[in-house]
Amino acid sequence: MRLITCCSFKGGAGKTTALMGLCSALASGGRTVALFEADENRPLSTWKENALRNDTWDERCEVLVADELPALEDAYEMAERQGYDYALADTHGGSSELNNTIIASSDFLLVPTMLTPLDIDEALATYRYIIELLLAENLHSHTAILQQRVSMGRITASQRSGIELLSALPLCDTPMFERDAFAAMKKRGMLHRTLAGMETSPGLRLPARNYRKAMDEMIALGRYVETALGA
């Protein structure tokens, strides 16, 4: 089992959105996924509840509470015992022993960021913290920046400067653009299951195009991660 973690010390950076999208991409490819919920606000549990209500949950996935070290250890042991292909961890904001343990145990670390100066500063601080922690523990994990909510239209001068700054670090091949499909995931449920339902409804085929593009971006992200992990 490979552990992939979305990590940012800033709230609202898009960790949970990235994790939900990546989970859908992996599940749509036949992978089984355990979701470790380290955020005490339980956004993944709420996501699953909404998905079950909308019949958009994939039974190849499961949410396991991991908001304390003993719970994390139990969740990891359970996921390994049940043979999940991947575990995805959603960290909470700030540094803590729990976050440090998740980071040190991860095979791949995604640092999502929007293209505002504040978000980029926080992403750089998170990236620096991760690298220093891994070096101190003599560990290696793939680490990459994931650009979030990138405009599909004209990029501002400030955003262009931000992209140039981030380009000095490992960047995911495909950013997550500012799409309604991503914003609606928490309420509608898993992206690939929502898309499948929309494509069978004549009245939703045009909006489904936006969801198909979002799904393609997530599949590209999944390929990027799996390639880096040698899967």
If you average pLDDT over residues 111-133, what whole number do you get? Answer: 91
Taking 70 as the threshold, does the pLDDT of residue 128 lie above it?
A: yes
Taking 90 as the threshold, does the pLDDT of residue 153 lie above it?
A: no
How high does pLDDT run on average in the chain? 91
pLDDT of residue 226: 95
Taking 90 as the threshold, does the pLDDT of residue 94 lie above it?
A: no
Taking 70 as the threshold, does the pLDDT of residue 133 lie above it?
A: yes
Q: Percent of the chain, pLDDT > 90?
A: 68
pLDDT of residue 231: 61
Whole-model pTM: value is 0.92
Query: With contact defined as beta carbons under 8 Å apart, do 146 and 176 qualify?
Result: yes
Taking 90 as the threshold, does the pLDDT of residue 60 lie above it?
A: yes
Taking 70 as the threshold, does the pLDDT of residue 194 lie above it?
A: yes
2-228 has CATH 3.40.50.300 classification? yes
pLDDT of residue 158: 79
pLDDT of residue 215: 95
pLDDT of residue 21: 96
pLDDT of residue 202: 79
